[in-house]
């Protein structure tokens, strides 16, 4: 996984930019709306969408909660300035606090999911206002491990980074010119202070990516992966996360009551 050739990264970049442009145009639209967190995934998605649609057609939206650390808004503003783009800032604290009161102070993870879903509502409303699509920021590692909120950060019209592992996102971000301090940030959903992705997943992205690559791209078995020097507990951890989050990667199943007459529009 490490040391991806520049030509390969350039190819990924071109394919993603073309994908964004063609998908948005196929919907009869010109604009994209992206939630900017100040992290590397949203930064790369924003940069590539600006390449695809033009900076004037892309709105970066920063949506802090009261515990969000200040440096993230500065990172988001830096990205927008670099592209001479447009940015909106919407504080979500009052909305989230309403939910906290209604639900009698839910624990941190549930509160984090509420934040993610409030942000999704804001993005879709802005997209409706300007006539555009909500551009996702999830990468392949997060999607496979289920590290996203259904109808939260998983709620979007397209996922430009969805076939890039996290370590590939870092590599392509360097190529695209994302500031190094943003690339070097510890990955976090920002749900609470001190929270990090890798602590919650209980495995590092570098190890998870290597294992996922062997599972998904090479179709290796557990024993074959273990023979490459990986610990059995890490392989089992990855397999567990992939399996338990399978439902997240599919649209809600429809109970078939008309076995003969399938609607071709579905």
CB–CB of 148/247 below 8 Å? no
Query: For residue 32, is pLDDT > 90?
Result: yes
pLDDT (tens digit per residue) in 169-202: 999 999 999 999 999 999 988 888 888 999 999 9
Confidence of residue 257 (pLDDT cuts 50, 70, 90): confident
pLDDT (tens digit per residue) in 44-97: 999 999 999 999 999 999 999 999 999 999 999 999 999 999 999 999 999 999
Query: For residue 256, is pLDDT > 90?
Result: no
Phi, psi at 36, each rounded to 5°: -95, 120
The pTM for the full model equals 0.94
| 65-68: long-range contacts, CB 8 A cutoff, minimum separation 24 | 65/92, 65/93, 65/96, 65/115, 65/190, 66/93, 67/190, 67/192, 67/193, 68/190
For residue 226, count CB atoms less than 10 angstroms from its CB and return exposed for 0-12, middle for 13-18, buried for 19 or more.
Answer: middle
Shortest CA distance to 95 belongs to which of 121, 60, 124? 121
pLDDT (tens digit per residue) in 34-43: 999 999 999 9
Q: Can you give the C-alpha Rg of the chain in angstroms?
A: 19
239: its two tokens:
């397999």
Confidence of residue 260 (pLDDT cuts 50, 70, 90): low
pLDDT (tens digit per residue) in 199-230: 999 999 999 999 999 999 999 999 999 999 99
């Amino acid at each position: 996984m490490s040391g991806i050739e520049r030509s390969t990264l350039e190819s990924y970049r071109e394919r993603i930019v073309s994908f964004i442009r063609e998908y948005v145009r196929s919907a009869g639209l010109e604009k994209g709306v992206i939630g900017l967190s100040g992290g590397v995934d949203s930064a790369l998605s924003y940069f590539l969408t600006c390449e695809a649609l033009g900076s004037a057609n892309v709105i970066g939206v920063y949506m802090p909660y009261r515990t969000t650390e200040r440096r993230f808004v500065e990172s988001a503003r830096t990205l927008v300035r670099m592209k001479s783009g447009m940015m909106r800032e919407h504080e979500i604290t009052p909305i989230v606090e309403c939910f906290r009161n209604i639900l009698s102070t839910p624990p941190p993870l549930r509160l984090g999911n509420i934040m993610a879903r409030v942000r999704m509502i804001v993005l879709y409303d802005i997209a409706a206002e300007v006539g555009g699509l909500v551009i996702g920021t999830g990468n392949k590692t997060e999607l496979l491990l289920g590290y996203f909120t259904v109808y939260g950060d998983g709620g979007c019209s397209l996922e430009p980074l969805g076939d890039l592992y996290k370590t590939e996102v870092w590599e392509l971000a360097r190529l695209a010119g994302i500031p190094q301090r943003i690339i070097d940030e510890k990955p976090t959903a920002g749900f609470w202070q001190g929270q990090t992705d890798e602590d919650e997943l209980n495995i590092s992205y570098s190890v998870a990516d290597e294992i996922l690559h062997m599972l998904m791209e090479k179709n290796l078995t557990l024993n074959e992966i273990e023979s490459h020097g990986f610990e059995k507990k890490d392989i089992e951890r990855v397999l567990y996360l992939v399996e338990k989050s399978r439902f997240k990667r599919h649209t809600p199943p429809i109970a078939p009551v008309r076995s003969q007459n399938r609607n071709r529009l579905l």
